[in-house]
């Protein structure tokens, strides 16, 4: 049976930092940055990291696909929040996957996302969820800061009714150190770009493609979509031309509208290509990094039958322009803000309590009373309905996909927030239940009583003293959130 892609999705944070603003702040120091002034880069909110973005991409990908069927979940990133804690396990928890699911983290290379996809395709029958996400820390005034973007992609891999079948896979592993990030070091260290182009891309990628085409029995001319992330100019085009791939097949690397999402970017470009692929189209996905992975897919006649909730295009269209470069630096801890004494509250997490309450906290699972049907959050021993109060009557009820509306709200300048004012309020779910919850990706002007809200998995707190990231769910204005009610 054909192995391939069953579903796909992506996530791009709402803020797009304008490169003009970044360059305006830094050109005094490095005038050469002016050549990178065009366009915008995706900028994660302070409460997003590779795990939360992977969850968002996975939700975009999975839609109503039955999550009980998943056999494994992969997460690829070079910016995982935990060096020793299965990050894919957090993703699995947020998606409420069964505990029988396998979990894998992939890291340490810019091609980790595509390698993870290759591993998944070569492995079990699936369905396997592959996610990749990146939120790179970059030095102020670095070219990497301008070329990077934050984002994620997710692909559901399996057998059967695939929308794109795997034709062939080739790879190379070469210890070519174009850049590296040592253990415990926040930022990348890079070598000269011309050397990376000539000795790296231009030698390693063509050799891999040659193997791939031989395995697949196709030529470059047959390729309809060539997805190869590369932030260097004049690399992808010439490599394609040399391999006989038509110019028109070379896909936009989204540099101007998103930036390079690192380990996720090959999958982001692939997910983007799947949005427009026609049955029979050959899609070539290449990722470079201490070698190369190259995967060739053929879109099937099912290609149009599955669409992500938003996809790359939908998320790129949903945006808010950000011109405050200082905010970007603060969100990424590149500068030390005077955060005030209210930020000093100890955020220690009792791991035993987190584990006991993982359904509530990570899965956003509440209760549904099997006597009166009342939905409630959190799940409790005694039904909250004053006319019921049944004991031990609640079945697990996920709240993450329920429609909610603002019942009351405020924009708070007193409480500590990394992005004041802190907006929060009571969100009431149409199906029943409510929660006083933090809002995210909002300004005070976005919110009013009756506004439809979606639930998103985000960072709740970061415990800097112990290096622990605490996650919970937040409310954000829903897509097409028409103001309803009073």
Partner 1 sequence: MARGIKDKVAILGMGCSKFGERWDKEADDLMVEAFEEALKDAGIEKNQIEAAWFSTAIEDQHVGKSGTPLAVALRLPQIAVTRVENFCASGTDAFRGAVYAVASGAADIALALGVEKLKDTGYGGLPQRSRGVLNSMWWANASAPGNFAQLAAAYRAKHNVSKEDLKRAIAHISVKSHDNGSRNPKAHLQNKVTMEQVLEAPIVAEPLGLFDCCGVSDGSACAIVTTPEIARSLGKTDIISVKALQLSVSNGVEAQHNSWDGSYFATARVASKKAYQEAGVQNPREEIDLIEVHDCFSVTELVTMEDIHISPEGRAIYDVMDGFYDHDGKIPCQIDGGLKCFGHPIGASGMRMIYEMYLQLQGKAGPRQRKELPRLGMTHNLGGFPHQNVCSVSIVGRYE
Q: Which of 96, 470, 481, 483 binds partner 1 (CB under 8 A)?
A: 470
- Dihedral pair phi/psi, residue 293, rounded to 5°: -115, 140
d(CA 469, CA 361): 13
Q: Does 483 bind partner 1 (CB under 8 A)?
A: no
Give residues 33-62 in contact with partner 1 (rule: CB under 8 A).
none
**Part in contact with partner 1 (CB under 8 A); list of ranges 35-43, 237-245, 324-332, 411-419:** 411-419
Q: Is residue 309 a contact partner of residue 59, using CB atoms and an 8 Å limit?
A: yes
d(CA 260, CA 258): 7
Closer CB to partner 1, 257 or 407, in the complex: 407
Burial of 210 (0-12, 13-18, 19+ CB in 10 A): middle
Minimum CB separation from partner 1 for residue 353, in Å?
5
Closer CB to partner 1, 210 or 483, in the complex: 483
Closer CB to partner 1, 280 or 420, in the complex: 420
Q: Does 460 bind partner 1 (CB under 8 A)?
A: yes
d(CA 127, CA 58): 13
Contacts of 131 (CB under 8 A, 6+ apart): 54, 55, 57, 58, 73, 74, 75, 76, 88, 91, 152, 153, 154
Q: Which of 159, 211, 333, 412 binds partner 1 (CB under 8 A)?
A: 412
d(CA 324, CA 331): 11
Q: Is residue 74 a contact partner of residue 57, using CB atoms and an 8 Å limit?
A: no
Q: Does 415 bind partner 1 (CB under 8 A)?
A: yes
Q: Which of 426, 468, 481, 483 binds partner 1 (CB under 8 A)?
A: 426
Site string for partner 1, 116-135 (x = CB under 8 A): --------------------
Peptide bond into 131 cis (omega under 30): no
Burial of 466 (0-12, 13-18, 19+ CB in 10 A): exposed
User: Among residues 477, 462, 341, which one has the least CA distance to residue 409?
Assistant: 477
Peptide bond into 27 cis (omega under 30): no
Q: What is the total count of residues that contact partner 1 (CB under 8 A)?
A: 56
Minimum CB separation from partner 1 for residue 392, in Å?
16
Closer CB to partner 1, 107 or 380, in the complex: 380
**Part in contact with partner 1 (CB under 8 A); list of ranges 104-112, 200-208, 210-218, 442-450:** 442-450
Closer CB to partner 1, 280 or 464, in the complex: 464
**Part in contact with partner 1 (CB under 8 A); list of ranges 92-100, 263-271, 316-324, 428-436:** 428-436
Closer CB to partner 1, 126 or 425, in the complex: 425
Minimum CB separation from partner 1 for residue 416, in Å?
7
Closer CB to partner 1, 115 or 360, in the complex: 360
d(CA 37, CA 23): 6
Give residues 325-354 in contact with partner 1 (rule: CB under 8 A).
340-342, 344-347, 349-350, 353-354
Minimum CB separation from partner 1 for residue 341, in Å?
5
d(CA 37, CA 40): 9
Burial of 350 (0-12, 13-18, 19+ CB in 10 A): exposed
Closer CB to partner 1, 30 or 343, in the complex: 343
**Part in contact with partner 1 (CB under 8 A); list of ranges 18-26, 119-127, 267-275, 430-438:** 430-438
Closer CB to partner 1, 209 or 411, in the complex: 411
What would the two tokens of residue 136 be?
Answer: 């790179």
- SS3 state of residue 429: strand
C-alpha gyration radius of the chain: 23
**Part in contact with partner 1 (CB under 8 A); list of ranges 117-125, 233-241, 287-295, 424-432:** 424-432
What would the two tokens of residue 218 be?
Answer: 């196709």
Give residues 361-390 in contact with partner 1 (rule: CB under 8 A).
361, 374, 376-378, 380, 384-386
**Over 210-228, what HEC string results?**
HHHHHHHCCCHHHEEEEEC
Q: Write out the residues near partner 1 by the rule CB under 8 A.
A: 340-342, 344-347, 349-350, 353-354, 357, 360-361, 374, 376-378, 380, 384-386, 406-417, 421-422, 424-426, 428, 432-438, 444, 448-450, 460, 470, 472, 485-486
């Amino acid at each position: 049976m054909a192995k391939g892609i069953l579903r796909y999705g992506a996530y791009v944070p709402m803020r797009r930092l304008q490169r003009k603003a970044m360059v305006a702040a830094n050109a005094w120091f490095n005038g050469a940055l002016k050549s990178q002034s065009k366009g915008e880069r995706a900028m994660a909110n302070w409460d997003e990291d590779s795990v939360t973005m992977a969850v968002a991409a996975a939700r975009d990908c999975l839609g109503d696909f039955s999550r009980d069927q998943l056999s494994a979940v992969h997460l690829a990133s070079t910016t995982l929040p935990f060096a020793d804690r299965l990050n894919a396990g957090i993703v699995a928890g947020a998606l409420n996957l069964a505990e029988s699911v396998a979990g894998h983290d992939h890291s340490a290379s810019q091609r980790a996302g595509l390698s993870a996809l290759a591993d998944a395709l070569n492995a079990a029958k699936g369905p396997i969820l592959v996610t990749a996400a990146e939120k790179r820390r970059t030095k102020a005034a670095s070219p990497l800061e301008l070329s990077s973007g934050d984002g994620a992609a997710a692909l559901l891999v399996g057998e059967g009714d695939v929308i794109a079948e795997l034709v062939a896979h080739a790879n190379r592993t070469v210890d070519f150190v174009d850049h590296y990030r040592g253990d415990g070091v926040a930022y990348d260290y890079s070598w000269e770009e011309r050397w990376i182009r000539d000795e790296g891309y231009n030698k390693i990628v063509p050799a891999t493609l040659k193997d791939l085409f031989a395995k697949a029995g196709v030529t470059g001319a047959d390729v309809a979509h060539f997805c190869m992330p590369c932030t260097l100019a004049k690399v992808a085009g010439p490599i394609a031309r040399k391999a006989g791939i038509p110019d028109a097949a070379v896909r936009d690397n989204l540099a101007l509208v998103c930036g390079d999402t690192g380990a996720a970017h090959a999958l982001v470009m692939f997910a983007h290509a799947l949005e427009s692929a026609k049955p029979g189209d050959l899609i070539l996905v290449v990722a470079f990094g201490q070698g190369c992975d190259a995967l060739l897919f053929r879109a099937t006649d099912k290609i149009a039958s599955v669409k992500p909730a938003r996809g790359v295009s939908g998320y790129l269209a949903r945006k808010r322009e950000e011109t405050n470069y200082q905010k970007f630096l603060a969100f990424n801890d590149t500068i030390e803000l005077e955060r005030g004494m209210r930020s000093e509250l100890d955020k220690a997490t009792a791991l035993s309590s987190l584990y006991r309450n993982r359904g509530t906290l990570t899965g956003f699972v509440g209760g549904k009373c099997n006597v009166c049907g009342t939905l409630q959050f959190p799940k409790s021993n005694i039904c909250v309905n004053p006319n019921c109060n049944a004991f031990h009557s609640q079945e697990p009820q996920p709240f993450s996909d329920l429609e909610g509306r603002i019942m009351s709200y405020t924009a708070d300048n007193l409480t500590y927030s990394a992005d004041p004012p802190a907006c929060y309020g009571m969100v009431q779910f149409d199906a029943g239940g409510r929660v006083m919850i933090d809002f995210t990706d909002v300004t005070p002007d976005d919110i009013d009583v009756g506004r439809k809200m979606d639930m998103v998995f985000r960072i709740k707190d970061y415990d800097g003293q112990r290096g622990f990231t605490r996650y919970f769910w937040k409310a954000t204005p829903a897509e097409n959130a028409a103001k309803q009610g009073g």
